[in-house]
Amino acid sequence: MKNHTVTDSPYGPLTLVAEDGTLCGLYMENQRHRPPEETFGARDDSLFTGAAEQLTAYFEGELTEFTVELRLNGTPFQRSVWEQLCLIPYGETRSYGQLAEALGNPQASRAVGLANGRNPVSIIVPCHRVIGASGSLTGYGGGLPRKQRLLDFERGAGLF
C-alpha cells in the first residue's frame, strides 16, 4: 500500500512516497520520470516525520548522511547503481565511468547513466553527485540548475 506527503524545500515542494511504510520515492516538481500523482496513494503526513526531519536538517547544513530506511524498486542493475550512489561522500562527485568501474563493468557507463536517471529517491540517494568524465554537469532529472545548486551547497558555497 502506498502513501505520500508533500514537504517544503529550497527547491519547492518535494513529494515523498512510501510503500508499506518505507520510503520508496522522493520527487521534485517537474522531475523527469516522476510517476503520475495517482500512483502515490493517499496522503498521510504521519508516515514521513523522520524523512522530513532529515531533509530539513540536510537543507540547513546540519546533516550530511541520511539514515532513512529505503525501498528502492528497480532492476537488480539499477539497485546496484543506486547503492553505489549512496557511497559517494557528501560534497564529492564521481563520474559515470567511475561508478561503472566500481560495479566491475568499466564499459557500462552509459547504462549507469540510465539507471542514475531513474533514481526514485532523489537527494537522499544522491544522483546529483554524478558528473561527466570531464567534470561537466550532465543530465539530472530535477534539471541542471538544481543539480548545480545541490553541488554548490554541498561544497560549502552557501546555504540555499
Q: pLDDT tens across 90-102, in order? A: 999 999 999 999 9
Range of the domain at 96: 76-154
Grid coordinates in use for 143? 534539471
Q: Is 107 found in the same domain as 47?
A: no
Q: What is the CATH number of the domain that holds 139?
A: 1.10.10.10
Classified as helix, coil or strand, 117 is: helix
Predicted confidence (pLDDT) per residue in 64-121, tens digit: 999 999 999 999 999 999 999 999 999 999 999 999 999 999 999 999 999 999 999 9
Strand bridging mode 2-7 / 130-131: unpaired
Cell numbers 527547491: residue = 11
**Does residue 52 sit in the same domain as residue 82?**
no
Q: What is the domain count for the chain? A: 2
For residues 115 and 82, the answer to whether their CB atoms sit within 8 Å is yes
CATH number of the domain that 40 lies in?
Answer: 3.30.160.70
For residues 82 and 143, membership in a common domain is answered with: yes
Q: Which of 26, 99, 121, 127 is catalytic?
A: 127
C-alpha cell belonging to residue 27 = 520527487
Distance (Å, whole) CA 58 – CA 139 = 23
On whether residue 88 sits in a domain, the answer given is yes
Is 24 labeled as catalytic in the residue annotation? no
